[in-house]
Amino acid sequence: MKNIIERAMAQAAKDLWRKYPVLTITGPRQSGKTTLARELFPSAEYVNLEIPDVRDQAMRDARSFIERHPAPVVFDEIQRVPMLLSYIQAKVDETQNTSCYVLTGSHQPSLQAAIAQSLAGRTGILELLPLSIAELTAANKKTERDYLIFNGFMPRLYSSGLDASHLYSDYFKTYIERDLRQLANLRHIRQFELFIRLMAGRVAQVLNVDSLANDTGVSSRTIREWLSLLEASYIIKLLPPYYRNFGKRFIKSPKIYFVETGLVSYLLGIKEIKQVATHPLIGNLFENMVIMDAFKKRLNAGNDGDLYFMRTNHGVEVDLVEEVNGKLDLYEIKAGATFHDEMARNLRAIENSLKGEIGRKTVVYAGTNAIVNEVEYLNYAEL
């Protein structure tokens, strides 16, 4: 295989492979799950359950199918045949060995429910998102702000030289026409497409279900169902607010982010890189990229993605909050490259409101690194 970018998750995957009989790698379509599994475990047989006749064999006689594919083996897109999990459970309980099966899957809820039922305590679970900025930097790829916002982070873009607009057009069509039919029986496909595009226009904003319902022409209940679908299929990520122990001073609605920033650019109609810098949502797009990169950093290390934002009822907002050693590390995200002290205004306002609770204060932006008045100014590529 050519032009494969080394994934930061490799070490966490190897560690879990040694500890558990089963390693499960979840994540969005085309995030690199198959490539990672095959690269890390070349001695394991590879079985692709997306292939219709292979899937039919597994569904007709799951027991015999497992016997015909002894460990070590990679079962790709395991959510296509969830009944296999019960037989995998029986096999690992029988052998009591580690390093037996690698499972990959794209649809989070169905896979998680099946794993919870069959493989609880028997599998290590990792969530692989598209490429991180650190992974691109290590591979000597471009990491300029506007280039990344436009092109995004899908591995295929960097391994095959595909055009970003074509890739995201195909990705979106595949999602609507294929993945959704596996997840739900949608009656309002056109309204659902409108809903996704409206979500792109609200990227990095606080979720307002009623507003989305009014603009889409469906009920608030339907919007909530659709939000669950988008999260389930790794199209969006809802960032929860941090409001624990702070009473009514802080809002409790999540913010909207897209797992793939390049997809947002496509949905917003951005056709060329040069359009990014002057787009009305450049700040939102940059924030989306940085927030998702923060998630990738945690998930690639095998940690939970426990990140938050914070916003008071008076509109003072900090874009990213991470709880570290009993303190709250605060991050403000700014798309500009020119330093000015005003960038840290919200960090200081929140610190004054929560005296004694705050740890590190950081402005993530497109400029050079600096420390001014106890605030760290950090280039986005070094988050």
Mean pLDDT by 10-residue block, N- to C-terminus, for the chain (383 residues)?
Answer: 84 97 95 97 97 97 97 95 95 95 84 85 95 97 98 94 92 81 72 94 97 96 93 93 68 93 98 97 99 97 90 89 92 96 93 86 97 95 94
| Alpha carbon separation from 39 to 7, 36, 199 (Å, rounded) | 10, 5, 36
Are residue 167 and residue 219 in the same domain, yes or no?
yes
Give the separation between CA 114 and CA 353, rounded to whole angstroms: 44
Are residue 255 and residue 318 in the same domain, yes or no?
no
Pairing of strands 73-76, 45-48: parallel
Q: Which residues contact 221 (CB under 8 A, 6 or more apart)?
A: none
Residue 279 forms part of a structural domain = yes
Are residue 272 and residue 167 in the same domain, yes or no?
yes
Q: What is the token pair recorded at 41?
A: 């475990």
Q: Which residues contact 214 (CB under 8 A, 6 or more apart)?
A: none
Are residue 185 and residue 282 in the same domain, yes or no?
yes
Are residue 151 and residue 254 in the same domain, yes or no?
yes
Candidates 27, 39, 275, 1; CA nearest to 160 is: 1
pLDDT at residue number 312: 84
Are residue 58 and residue 193 in the same domain, yes or no?
no
Residue 302 forms part of a structural domain = no
Are residue 275 and residue 337 in the same domain, yes or no?
no
Give the separation between CA 148 and CA 207, rounded to whole angstroms: 25
Which of 108, 127, 146 is where one domain is finished? 127
> Could you tell me the CATH number of the domain that includes residue 159?
1.10.10
Candidates 297, 264, 278, 277; CA nearest to 152 is: 264
pLDDT at residue number 358: 92
Amino acid making up residue 348: R
Region at 172 (left for phi over 0; alpha for psi -120 to 50; beta for the rest): alpha
The model's pTM is: 0.94
Are residue 267 and residue 357 in the same domain, yes or no?
no
Residue 164 forms part of a structural domain = yes
Give the structural domain span for 67. Answer: 10-127
pLDDT at residue number 290: 99
Give the separation between CA 99 and CA 104, rounded to whole angstroms: 15
Are residue 138 and residue 249 in the same domain, yes or no?
yes
Residue 53 forms part of a structural domain = yes
Residue 222 forms part of a structural domain = yes
Cα atoms found within 13 Å of the Cα of residue 88, Cβ hemisphere only: 32
Residue 5 forms part of a structural domain = no
Residue 199 forms part of a structural domain = yes
pLDDT at residue number 58: 98
pLDDT digits (tens, 9 = 90+) for 316-333: 899 999 999 889 999 999
Question: Got the DSSP string for 338-373?
Answer: S--GGGGHHHHHHHHHTTTTEEEEEEEESS--EEET
Are residue 204 and residue 338 in the same domain, yes or no?
no
Candidates 359, 290, 353; CA nearest to 324 is: 359
Are residue 231 and residue 330 in the same domain, yes or no?
no
Are residue 278 and residue 344 in the same domain, yes or no?
no
Candidates 92, 116, 105; CA nearest to 20 is: 92
Residue 294 forms part of a structural domain = no
pLDDT at residue number 151: 98
Burial degree of 247 (CB within 10 A; 0-12, 13-18, 19+) = exposed
Q: How many domains, the chain? A: 3
Q: Which residues contact 220 (CB under 8 A, 6 or more apart)?
A: 209, 210, 213
pLDDT at residue number 160: 85
